[in-house]
Amino acid sequence: MRRFLLAVAMSAGLLVSVPALTAAASAETFVPVRLTVWDTEDWTGADEVSMRYLGNDWQMPLNNNQFGVPDAKTFSGSFGIEVLDLDLGNWMDPHDLIGTHTVSAEQKGRGEQSAHFFGHGAHYELRYRVED
Ligand SMILES: [Ca+2]
Ligand SMILES: [Ca+2]
């Protein structure tokens, strides 16, 4: 009976560890350095900046020449980023899409990357790295 329980515990451990190893081998980390607002979309004060990626919705009010640092996240393959200025979000005053960008695992080890967004007359810049 004791030997049987040990065998069950070992096979259960194996089932758990195999997918964990597979995920670790293929994961990259998206590391934002800073998201800078060089020119706001709104005319009155700061933009309500929203950066949407990998299920995250990072938000921070930023005025001209201000920046924030969105959270790092792991991924595999590639993923898309949407950067917006949030307004009321209704039909009279919808959110403004400033731009989109695709991050790929192939950018790993290439140092700091830069993406510029120019939608609706604004100018935002995202600098980031892709690491192991
Ligand atoms: Ca706006
Ligand atoms: Ca706004």
- Domain 28-131 part of CATH 1.10.3470: no
Q: Which helix (H) or strand (E) holds 15?
A: helix 2-26
Instruction: Report the pLDDT value the prediction gives residue 119, as an integer from 0 to 100.
Output: 98
CA dist., res. 102 & res. 113, Å (int) = 12
Question: 111 CA distance to ligand 1 centroid (A)?
Answer: 32
* Cβ atoms of residues 70 and 51 within 8 Å: yes
- The pTM for the full model equals 0.80
Instruction: Report the pLDDT value the prediction gives residue 3, as an integer from 0 to 100.
Output: 55
Question: 67 CA distance to ligand 1 centroid (A)?
Answer: 17
Low-confidence residues in the chain, pLDDT < 50? 1, 8-9, 18, 22-24
Instruction: Report the pLDDT value the prediction gives residue 11, as an integer from 0 to 100.
Output: 53
- Closest-approaching ligand to the CA atom of 47: 2
CA dist., res. 2 & res. 29, Å (int) = 43
Give the residues across from 88 on adjacent strands.
none
Question: 48 CA distance to ligand 2 centroid (A)?
Answer: 5
- Delimit the domains of the chain by residue range: 28-131
SS3 (DSSP) at 59? strand
* Cβ atoms of residues 29 and 132 within 8 Å: yes
Instruction: Report the pLDDT value the prediction gives residue 10, as an integer from 0 to 100.
Output: 52
* Cβ atoms of residues 49 and 123 within 8 Å: no
